[in-house]
Structure 1
Amino acid sequence: MSIGSSAPVVRRTERTTLTLLVGVFIIDYIDRVMIAVALPLIGAEFGLSKTTQGLVVSAFAIAYLVGQMPGGLLADRVGARPLLVISLAAWSVFTAATGFAPGLVVLLVLRAAFGFAQALFPGAAFKALAERTTQEGRSRGAGLLLASNSVGAGLGPLLVAPLVVAAGWRHTFWIVAVAGLIVGLALWRLLPAPLPRELTEPEARVAPVKVPVSQVLRNRLVIRCAAMFACFNMLAYGMITWVPSYLVETKGLSLVAAGISAAIPQLVSAAAVLLGGWLMSRYFDQRPRWLVVPALVAAAGVLVAMLLSDSATGFTVLQTVAMFISGLASIGIVGLPLRVLPRDLVGAGMGLVNTGGQLAGVLAPLVMGWLADRFGFAAAFGFLAVSTLAAAAISLTTRSTKLSLGAPAPAKEQVG
C-alpha cells in the first residue's frame, strides 16, 4: 500500500489518533495539577508544612518516575491500545479515591498509586503515535501532544478552582474522576488500528532486523534528552505546584483569582510549544540546539526578573513570558528521539526520556518547598532559573547518536 493510494485512510487515522490522544493528555494534566490548586485547603485541613505539601506532590512524581520504563516496555510488548485504557481507568479510580483520604499517610499512598497508573500512559501514547502517523506527521503530532500538556495544565486551575470553592476539594476529585472514565471509554471505542509499517517507516525492510532495547537505552541522544528533560521540566513542575500557593499566601489573591493567574502562562506555553515545533521542523531539524540554547538562556533571565517582581500582575506577566520562551525549546528536547527510534522501540526510548523528565517532578516540589520554608519563595523560584540554565548547558554539549534500523552498531552524527 502506497501513501498516495491510501492518503485518505492515513489522514483519517492520524487525525482521529491525535484528537483522542490530545483529549486524554488534557484530562491527564487536569488530574495532575488539581492537587496544586487544592493544596492550600488540604494543607490547612491536615496541618501540613510547605515541605510536607511538597512531599504530597512528590509522592505522585516518585511513582510516576518509577513507572516510566515499565510502561514503555509494556507498550512495546502488549501494544498501545490496552495499556492506554488500563492506565486511564486506573488513574481515574485513584483520583476518586483521593477524595476519601482521611489523612496524610493514606493521601501519600493514593497519590503514589495515581502516579504509577499515569506512568503507564506516556510510552503507550507515543507508541500509538508512532504506529498511526507517517514520519512527516510524527513531529507535528508530538508537538500537539506536548502542547496539550500545557493546555491541561492551564485549564486545570480554571476548572478546578471554582469547583473546589463551590463543592470542596474532595467532591472535585470525584467529578474529575468520572470525566476520566468517560474519556477512557471513548479512547477504547474510537482509536483506529495501526497503519501498515511501510507507511510509517518507508525505509524499513518488510522484516526489519530487531534492534535490542539495550542499544536504545545506551543511545547518546536518548540519554542526553532524558537529562535535558529532567532539568527543563523543573520549570513546569515548579510552576504547577507552587504558583497557586504563592499567589494566595504572598500576594493575597483568592483561590479562584490565583487559579486564573496560574492558568494564563500554561495556556500561552501551549501556543509556544506548537510554534517551537513548527520552527524546529522548518529551520532547526538538523541543529536543534540553535533554538534550544538561546530559548532556555533567555527564559532563565526572565525568571530572575520574575522573582524580583513586587506585584501579582508583574509576576504573572513575567512568568508568562518565561513559559512562552521556554516552550519554544520543548520539541527540541522531547521530539528528537521520535525521529531516530524505530516504532517497535518508541515505547522504551520515550520511557527513558520521560523518566528523566519526571525526575523533575520528584525534586522540584520538594526542593522548592524546602527553600520556601527556609528562605522564602524568591529562593524557591530562583532554583527554577538555575535548572533552566542547566538544561541549556546540556543541550549546548549534546551530540546525537542516530539509531539505524537493522544496523549492527549506531552511527554517530553530530547535530548542530
Structure 2
Amino acid sequence: MTYAWRDRAVRALGGPDQARVVAVLGAVLAMDGADKGALSVAAPGIKTAFGVNNTDIGLLVSVVSLTAAVCTVPVGLLTDRVRRVHLLAISTTLWVVATGMSALAPSYLWLLVSRAALGAVTATAGPTVSSLTGDFFPAHKRARMLGFILGGEMIGTGLGFAASSLVAESLGWRFSFWWLVVPGALVVWAVTRLPEPARAEQSMLQAQPDPDARTRNGQTSDSESSGAGDEGSGDGLAGQAAERAGVQPVAHLVLHEDPRKKPRWWAIRYVLRVRTNLVLITASALGYFYFTGLRSFATVFVTEHYGVSTSIAGSLVLVVGAGALVGVFVGGRVADRLLSNGWITARILVPVVGLVGVPLLVAPALHTSALLAALPLFMAGAVLLGAVNPPLDAARLDIIHPYMWGTAEGVRTFLRTLGEAAAPTVFGFVSVAVFGGGGTGLEYTLMVFLVALLASAALGLTALRTYPRDVATVNASAKEISAGSRSASRSSPSD
C-alpha cells in the first residue's frame, strides 16, 4: 500500500526526476519554515533566559527579514547570471552554520546577530527557487507544482512547531534549534545533486504524461503539445488564453533584445514598471506581514489564551498547519484547472477569494476562548490562506519574461521582507503598548491586523484588469527576442 501511494505521487509530479526537484526545492523552503516555527516555540524559554519581552522576541524575527531585504535584490540579479544550484547550495550551508550559532547563544545580542545571518537563505531561496521552478516545469503545471513546493514551507513550519515543542519541553529551548542542524545538512547535500536547468526552456527533466491533461476534440491541449521550446516563448496557458481573447500587449514594455544585456538598474526599473507585478508585490507584502506576525506569536498566544502547555500548543499549531498544507495543494490545482477552462485571470481570482475569506473565519476563532470551537475555524482559515500563494507565484512568472525571473523575484522578496521584518516587532509592540500584553493583548492585535489581508484582496481586484495585458506583453517580448536572435544568426558571417 505504501509503495502504491508513493508511485501515484511520483506519477502525479511528472516522474521521478521532477518529483526529486519538487522534494529538494520544497525542503529548502521547509528549512526556513522549520526555523521560524522553532523560534516561536523557543520564545517563552528565550524570554525567561534573557529577561526579554514580546517586542524583543519580535525583533529576533524581524532581523532575519531585514538582512534578507538588504541581500535579496543583489541575489536576484545574480540568479539571472550564475548557476542557481550552486548559489542555493552556498546559502543553505550558511543556514546550517547560523542555526548552530543560534543554539549556542550565551546572550540575547549573540542570538540576535546569529539570527541576522539566517537572512542569507531567505534572500537566496525566493529568487532561486522561483527561477528554477519556472525552468524545471511547464507553464500549464506551474501553479500546481508551486503548490507542492510551497507545501514544503508549510510542512517545515508544522514540524518546527511540533518537533521543537517536544524537544524544548524535554531538553530546553536551545535544542529546538540544535535538532535542525542534521536535516539542514542533508538538504545541503540534496541541493548539490540537483541539475542546473537551461533557462527559458523545458530543460532536461524527462517528464511523464500529465495525468490531469485534458483532450479536446480528440487532440491534446495546446499546452500539453507545445513542447519544451514553447516555454521560452511564453506560450503557456495564460499566454494562449490572452491571445485567444485578443488582448493587446503594453507597447512600451515589449522587449526587443535579451534583457540580461541591459544594466542591472534598468532591469530593476523594468520589473517595477510592470503594473501587475507591482500590485502583486504590494499584495504579497501585506499578506506576509500578517502571516509572519501570526506565526511569530502562535505558540505564545495559544498557551496564554487557551491555557495549554507548550507541547500541546505545538501540536495544535501542527493540526492547523495541516489545513494550510491542504490549501497550498488545492489552490494551485484549482487555479490551473480554471485557467485550462478559459478563465484567463484564474491565478488572480483564486487568491482574492481566499484573502477575503480568511478574516471571516479567523476573527471569531481568535475571539472565542473555547478551543474546540476555535480549532475548526482556524483550520478552515488556514486552508484559504494556504491556497493564496501558489496561484500568485505562478501569476508572477506569467507576467515577467523568463530571463528576468530572478531579478523580479529579488525585487519582490526585498519589498515583501520589509513587511515581514516589521510584522513581529509591530505585533509585539502593539500587543504590549496598546492592548496591555498577555493573551488578550495578542488576541486584539491579531484581530486588528486582519485588515492587512482585506487590503491585499482589494489590491488583487485591481490586478484582474492589468494581468491579461502583462501576460500578452511577455508573449510579444518573447517573439521579438526570438526574431532578433534569428536575424542576428542569419546576418553573421559563416565560417
Normalised by the size of structure 1, how large is the TM-score? Answer: 0.89
Q: Which residue of 2 aligns with 1:281?
A: 336
Q: Which residue of 2 aligns with 1:346?
A: 405
The structural deviation recorded for 1:293 is 2.5
User: How many residues are paired up?
Assistant: 399
Q: Select the residue among 401, 407, 412 that pairs with 2:477.
A: 407
Q: Distance in 1 between matches of 2:163 and 2:474?
A: 45
Q: Distance in 1 between matches of 2:151 and 2:462?
A: 26
The structural deviation recorded for 1:81 is 0.7
Q: Decide whether the 8 Å contact of 2:199 with 2:403 is kept in 1.
A: no
Instruction: Tell me, yes or no, if structure 1 residue 395 matches structure 2 residue 450.
Output: no
Q: Which residue of 1 aligns with 2:383?
A: 324
Q: Select the residue among 318, 340, 355 that pairs with 1:263.
A: 318
1:265–1:367 CA distance, 2 compared to 1 (3 A): same
Q: Decide whether the 8 Å contact of 1:299 with 1:325 is kept in 2.
A: yes
* SS class of match (1:404): helix
Q: Select the residue among 182, 192, 195 that pairs with 2:195.
A: 192
Q: Decide whether the 8 Å contact of 1:122 with 1:351 is kept in 2.
A: yes
Normalised by the size of structure 2, how large is the TM-score? Answer: 0.75
Q: Select the residue among 83, 86, 90 that pairs with 2:87.
A: 83
Amino acid at match of 2:315: I
Instruction: Tell me, yes or no, if structure 1 residue 141 matches structure 2 residue 145.
Output: yes
Q: Distance in 1 between matches of 2:31 and 2:201?
A: 33
1:222–1:196 CA distance, 2 compared to 1 (3 A): closer
Instruction: Tell me, yes or no, if structure 1 residue 244 matches structure 2 residue 299.
Output: yes
Q: Select the residue among 16, 21, 32 that pairs with 2:20.
A: 16
1:64–1:314 CA distance, 2 compared to 1 (3 A): farther
* SS class of match (1:55): helix
The range that moved more, 221-230 or 401-410, is: 401-410
Q: Decide whether the 8 Å contact of 1:83 with 1:121 is kept in 2.
A: no
* SS class of match (1:310): coil
Q: Select the residue among 287, 301, 321 that pairs with 1:232.
A: 287
Q: Decide whether the 8 Å contact of 2:38 with 2:161 is kept in 1.
A: yes
Instruction: Tell me, yes or no, if structure 1 residue 132 matches structure 2 residue 128.
Output: no
Q: Distance in 2 between matches of 1:291 and 1:132?
A: 24
| Greater radius of gyration (CA) | 2
Q: Decide whether the 8 Å contact of 2:365 with 2:378 is kept in 1.
A: yes
The range that moved more, 331-340 or 261-270, is: 331-340
Q: Select the residue among 272, 275, 295 that pairs with 2:354.
A: 295
The percentage of counterpart residues that share the same residue type is 25
Within 5 A, what are the aligned runs for 1:330-369? 330-369=389-428
Structure 1 unaligned runs (5+)?
1-9, 411-416
1:36–1:181 CA distance, 2 compared to 1 (3 A): same
Q: Decide whether the 8 Å contact of 1:91 with 1:118 is kept in 2.
A: no
Q: Distance in 2 between matches of 1:325 and 1:405?
A: 31
The structural deviation recorded for 1:171 is 2.8
Structure 2 unaligned runs (5+)?
1-13, 203-227, 234-255, 436-440, 481-495
Q: Distance in 2 between matches of 1:49 and 1:157?
A: 20
Q: Which residue of 2 aligns with 1:414?
A: none
Instruction: Tell me, yes or no, if structure 1 residue 380 matches structure 2 residue 445.
Output: yes
Q: Which residue of 2 aligns with 1:48?
A: 52
Amino acid at match of 1:359: L
Q: Select the residue among 364, 371, 376 that pairs with 2:430.
A: 371
Amino acid at match of 2:457: A
Q: Decide whether the 8 Å contact of 1:71 with 1:120 is kept in 2.
A: yes
Q: Which residue of 1 aligns with 2:168?
A: 164
Q: Please list the CA deviations of residues 177-203 of structure 1 after superposition, one character each: whole Å capped at 9, or x if unmatched.
A: 2220121012202x1241575535516
* SS class of match (2:80): helix
Q: Distance in 2 between matches of 1:365 and 1:148?
A: 22
The structural deviation recorded for 1:311 is 2.1
